[in-house]
Amino acid sequence: MRIFIFLILLIMAIYGPQFWAKRILTKYSRLQEHYPGTGAELARHLLDRLDMPHVSVEIIEGGDHYDPMEKAVRLNRTNCEKKSLTAVVVATHEVGHAIQDNIGYGPLHARTRLVRFAQTAEKVGAGLMMAIPLIAVVTRVPAMGVLTFLGGLAILGTPVVVHLLTLPVEWDASFRRALPILKANLSEEEQSAAREILTACALTYLAASLASLLNLWRWIRILRR
């Protein structure tokens, strides 16, 4: 019974924030005709005002993000073209990342380097860990299997480090960079809603970190059998 309750709580911790964030973003995606511009127009205005004309604003079909390599704030079609509180908050959050990049915020740059490494490291690590028994048999050196396991485990742990490093980066972009801008331009009621949107999105990154830890634990369990 305890295991069942634990599993339910675990599932809620991982998937609950995603459903909540989706509901919150949808809730505040209603058209606001009185807003002076769309999410893309706001992003462009903020970037120019903050002396970052070199950062582009682009429309994409995927998720909203800031690309520190291409120096681009990328918004999905809805947030790019719509006048809504969700579009405004998301656009300002991504501009927050551009601010981090512009001032040389260390954790953002460290995450960018790790992400590039993790994209290939996780695949290599998975293959390496699966090959442990074969390597140990071919080399006939028992310690080789242990070393390979530790190496593969370290490589698979890279995504965990990326997710954990993402938490302070996203928190800083939301509550230290974006929120002060939003407070200066929104009503008190809208400020409260904006904080709700930022908090919901921040919890999704926390859930992603938990999921990555569970994935690492799963691999350890498999290899201990």
- Torsion angle of C-alpha atoms 30, 32, 38, 42, degrees rounded to 10: -110
Q: What is the pLDDT of residue 94?
A: 96
Q: How many structural domains are present in the chain? A: 1
CA distances from 184 to 11, 154, 181, 190 (A): 38, 45, 5, 11
Average pLDDT in the 102-116 region?
Answer: 90
Per residue in 162-213, pLDDT (tens digit) is 888 888 999 999 999 999 999 998 999 999 999 999 999 888 888 877 777 7
Work out whether strand 65-67 and strand 56-60 pair parallel, antiparallel, or are unpaired: unpaired
Average pLDDT in the 104-116 region?
Answer: 89
Residue numbers of the domain that contains 126: 2-224
CA 181 distance to own-chain centroid: 21
pTM of the model: 0.82
Per residue in 17-51, pLDDT (tens digit) is 788 888 998 999 999 988 989 999 999 999 999 99
Alpha helix positions (H), 50-187: 77-81, 85-103, 106-130, 132-139, 142-156, 158-171, 179-183
**Residue type at position 216:** L
Q: What is the pLDDT of residue 212?
A: 78
